[in-house]
Amino acid sequence: MEPAILDFLGTCAAFYPDDAVDASIGQQRQWYDALCAHFDRPLPTGMATQDRMVEGDIPVRWYRPADIRTETLLYYMHGGGFVVGSLDSHHAICAELADYAGAELVSVDYRLAPEHVWPAAHEDCFAVLSSLLGSGRRVVLIGDSAGGNLAAGLALRARDEGLTGILGQALIYPALGGDLVSGSYAEMSHAPGLTTSDVAYYRTVLRAPGDSPVAHPLHSKSLAGLPPTFITVAHFDPLRDDGRAYASRLAEAGIEVWFREEPQMVHAWLRARHMSEGARAGFEALCAAVTRFAAQD
């Protein structure tokens, strides 16, 4: 593993202990907020942001870079196991993506479990997507971890309900409904940063039905008709094979798909993009894919 990633893991553990899921929800959020604040960065020069409400009561943050080169909107859903995370947790990540792509970006502050179980987070994200598409703009879906699950579920629901205008989806170490017992769930069950028991905990808290393809996209009978897709996973991550399997199924369905496995990375490596060469390369690949999708407008 890259030495910088070992340093990254040490910093993360200092803020967010390995047994964090055993703590109260309030304590988990306090630790996570402190971790995110530590890794926050100054926004790119000229980046403007504005907090708004969509559909009356769903908070979003709108990012507008100084140099806009496309009318396509980027739509970001943050990770955090559906339990932690906010508009602030991925603030700099969203700003840097928007700046690289030369596109406005909207991030959503969806409702969190356990106060709001399935399908609250998905419904919030879908309401925002419907509003963005209804304005006549085209959209690229982006999400990491739990947010990758939400993005993939939105693409499936939009396809099934006949919504058009999604130009692509970028899924970053997504949780897609794997079986929790085989493949990387067994091989990387005690991986640093996220364990298989952590994944099981988050599923239990969310209480999504096991037979829902929107909640568990790997369970979808057909992936035909989905937009072009970029998937990136970390080798040392129990969720790794969710992304591998989804990429394979997309290709079998005839969907244009790009897949990257970051060989030295761990879950949540996006936060290490300014301290690790491997994470920096992975982030640049993500930015390039999002830019390519957005340029189709």
Structure tokens at 25: 């929800």
Q: Is 116 a catalytic residue?
A: no
Q: Are 237 and 184 in contact (CB under 8 A)?
A: yes
Structure tokens at 45: 């020069």
Pick from 47, 43, 46, 18: which is nearest to 31 by CA? 18
Q: Is 130 a catalytic residue?
A: no
**Catalytic one among 90, 91, 122, 267?**
267
In whole angstroms, give the CA distance from residue 91 to residue 275: 17
Q: Are 111 and 237 in contact (CB under 8 A)?
A: no
**Catalytic one among 86, 89, 107, 145?**
145
Q: Are 92 and 41 in contact (CB under 8 A)?
A: yes
In whole angstroms, give the CA distance from residue 162 to residue 198: 35
Q: Which amino acid is at 230?
A: F
Q: Is 18 a catalytic residue?
A: no
Pick from 278, 281, 170, 284: which is nearest to 231 by CA? 170
Residue 184's CB is within 10 A of a number of other CB atoms, namely 23
Element (H, E) at 12: helix 3-15
**Catalytic one among 109, 144, 237, 242?**
237
Length of the chain: 297
Report DSSP letters for 203-216, one per residue: HHHHT--TT-TTTS
Q: Which residues are catalytic, by number?
A: 145, 237, 267
